[in-house]
Chain A
Amino acid sequence: KAGVTQTPRYLIKTRGQQVTLSCSPISGHRSVSWYQQTPGQGLQFLFEYFSETQRNKGNFPGRFSGRQFSNSRSEMNVSTLELGDSALYLCASSFGSSSYNEQFFGPGTRLTVL
């Protein structure tokens, strides 16, 4: 069974631009969660999508948004990029709710904002 895939793996943007990251979950998984990982703040939850609906949202500004498609693939968008958005963005898929099921993480997208 193929693992979680994320594209692109690396991205360099400048302040003010916007970016879209993509995540393809493991086949059969309906939940996709997104996390931001930085050396200073650790792993922080962004949001979770389940069957195309946003189930939960973390404490991030409205510039961070996401969506999930009918095939469970998910995208997250960050608008008006700031230097502090530089981070590793990880998505994780699980069969059911992420709160009670093993999460499988993708390799991440390394975003650098200049």
Chain B
Amino acid sequence: GQQVMQIPQYQHVQEGEDFTTYCNSSTTLSNIQWYKQRPGGHPVFLIQLVKSGEVKKQKRLTFQFGEAKKNSSLHITATQTTDVGTYFCAVDNYGQNFVFGPGTRLSVLP
């Protein structure tokens, strides 16, 4: 079945530092979605990537889809305390459903 890994599992940063999480798949993906879940909250959609090598930006967040469409990254510039939460990638499981990665939990120290 579809294998999805995310690294790191946890990340602690000082406010103002940058943060990057990586999502790796065992197979070529048709698309990938990113979600953020705040502590005690529910996942909230951030972005969907479809094209090989695609790069999308949302303010301080930069999302990238690998050239081989087997990996993706989310980079946050100058983290803020509002960035705290768990970031999940979700990959298409051959059109059947989405498989969520284990997530990267981000802590931001003020």
Contacts and interface: CB of A to CB of B under 8 A. Distances in A.
B7 to A, nearest CB: 14
Interface of A: 33, 35, 42-45, 48, 56, 58, 90, 92, 97-100, 102-108
B47 to A, nearest CB: 9
Interface in B77-110: 88, 92-93, 95-103
A50 B89 CA distance: 23
A58 B33 contact: no
Contacts of A100: 31, 48, 92
A42 B101 CA distance: 8
Interface of B: 31, 33, 35, 41-45, 48, 88, 92-93, 95-103
Given A33-B97, A58-B97, 13 more contacts: A42-B102, A44-B100, A45-B98, A90-B43, A99-B92, A99-B95, A99-B98, A102-B45, A102-B48, A103-B35, A103-B45, A105-B43, A106-B42
B63 to A, nearest CB: 14
Given A42-B103, A100-B31, A102-B33, A108 B42 contact: yes
Contacts of B95: 97, 99
Contact of B43 (A43, A56, A58, A98): A43
Contacts of B101: 42
A56 B42 contact: no
Contact of B42 (A33, A45, A90): A90
Contact of B96 (A42, A99, A102): A99
B18 to A, nearest CB: 25
